[in-house]
A = this chain, B = another copy of it.
Amino acid sequence: MNLKQLSEMLGLSQTTISRALNGFPEVSAQTRSRVLKAVRETGYRPNRAAQRLATGRAGSLGLVMPIAAGVDSDVHFGEFLAGLGEEAIKHDFHFVINPSAPEDEAGMVRRLAASGNVDALYIAYVRRDDPRIPLLHTLNIPFMVHGRAVDQSVHDYPFLDIDNTGAFHDATRLLIQLGHRRIGLINGPAHFAFAIRREKGMKKALVENGLPFDETLVHHGQMTDSFGHQVMERLLDGPNPPTAILCSSTVLALGAVRALDRRGLKLGRDMSLIAHDDELPMLKPENFSVPLTTTRSSLRAAGARIAERMISRVLQNGDPAEQELWRTELIVRDSTGPAPRGH
């Protein structure tokens, strides 16, 4: 049963049927109930294209996914998408994901917005000064930014971010209170706003406590187990290793802890460590051999909230530039302890 057949059966135009199904007020209650009865009896499912013609909506949220041969997939993406999906399903929204060469991301955002395939757009992995944000402002389509830029001429855009500066400030302050003076940072790629803010938070706590900021203890790179391991090895081989480490992900911590294990160094005694925890289900900080102290914020909850706000804008034209900043929680477990003596 397609729309044409249903239209012939009921003696109603296809437009009237679509409008009846999509709750338009021009359709009388009597006609609507006739249409709904026929839909139930025939098992007809409205074609999305027809629905789109009637409502002007695609029922979909758009994402651009940068990808290239040799570029690693992102372990955080699935978790975020699960959150988006959990919310989207409540409103019968789907996703349109455009893969894109990394250097063509802005162009792909522009084309996705122009495609008519999506009602709203989402961007993430925001950079210091991100050209996609002013671009989105010109595209005449609702959007949400996960994160926010650091230096940007445009300020009035809708975002959800976590307080990265606050998270790493609080974590660093705890380490200082425990007597640590040399603190390392294994961070994400240096051009991302979240990484810039985490370094800033760490610096702030050091300065507040009259401690020097040692650039040689700060390393930026891909948030993989391998990179965490490599940096920890390098720090331990240095002339004056830190006594504590901040990691921008539990994935980085996995590699860092392995480097400690290999040398027989005990976490929480010989080296303290605090990791940022996105609550990835496959890598729980409480399951590490020494449970990890973390700054915690659910990536999945962020996904659900972002979907909720985009859908609400599409359906109701809600507040266009609401800005949300989520505080993280500092959860103390066994990977942090007093600085070893002699340091």
Q: Is the CB of A73 within 8 A of B78?
A: yes
Counting CB contacts under 8 A, is A211 at the interface? Answer: no
A73 in contact with B284 (CB, 8 Å): no
| Residues of chain B lying within 8 A (CB to CB) of residue A225 | 282-284, 287
CB of A117 within 8 A of chain B?
yes
Q: Which stretch in A97-105, A120-128, A148-156 binds the other chain?
A: A97-105
Say whether A326 faces chain B, with CB atoms less than 8 Å apart.
Answer: no
A-side interface residues, number (CB < 8 Å): 61
- A312 interface residue per 8 A CB criterion: no
Interface-side segment among A10-18, A108-116, A333-341:
A108-116
Specify which of A45, A65, A85, A99 lies most central, judged by the most chain B CB atoms within 10 Å of its CB. A99
Chain B residue contacts of A45, Cβ below 8 A: 110-111, 114
Q: In angstroms, how far is the closest chain B Cβ from the Cβ of A135?
A: 14
User: Within the complex, what minimum Cβ distance (angstroms) separates A215 from chain B?
Assistant: 27
Specify which chain B residues have a CB less than 8 angstroms from the CB of A76 in the assembled complex.
78
User: Which of A191-199, A255-263, A268-276 is near enough to bind chain B?
Assistant: A255-263
Give Cα distance in the complex from A73 to B280, angstroms.
Answer: 8
Number of copies of chain A assembled together: 2
A229 neighbours in B (Cβ, 8 Å)? 287
| A48→B116 contact, CB < 8 A | yes
* B-chain residues with CB within 8 Å of residue A255 when the two chains form the complex: 287
Give the interface segment out of A25-33, A88-96, A234-242.
A88-96
Q: How far is the CA of A171 from the CA of B79 in the complex (A)?
A: 31
> Would you call A86 and B60 a contact (CB within 8 A)?
no
Check A176 for interface membership: any CB of B closer than 8 A: no
Q: Which residues from B are CB-within-8-Å of A100?
A: 89
Separation of A283 and B82 alpha carbons in the complex (Å): 21
A-side residues, CB < 8 A to B, are: 45, 47-49, 52, 60, 65, 67-69, 71-79, 81-82, 84-86, 88-89, 94-101, 110-112, 114-117, 223-226, 229, 251, 254-255, 258, 261-262, 280-284, 287-289, 300
5 A-B pairs within 8 Å (CB atoms) are namely A71-B82, A81-B97, A85-B97, A94-B96, A225-B282
4 smallest CB-CB distances across A and B, nearest first, come from: A85-B99, A73-B82, A72-B281, A48-B115
Identify 7 new A-B residue pairs, CB closer than 8 A, beyond the known A225-B282, A261-B261. A73-B78, A73-B81, A75-B280, A77-B78, A89-B100, A223-B282, A251-B282
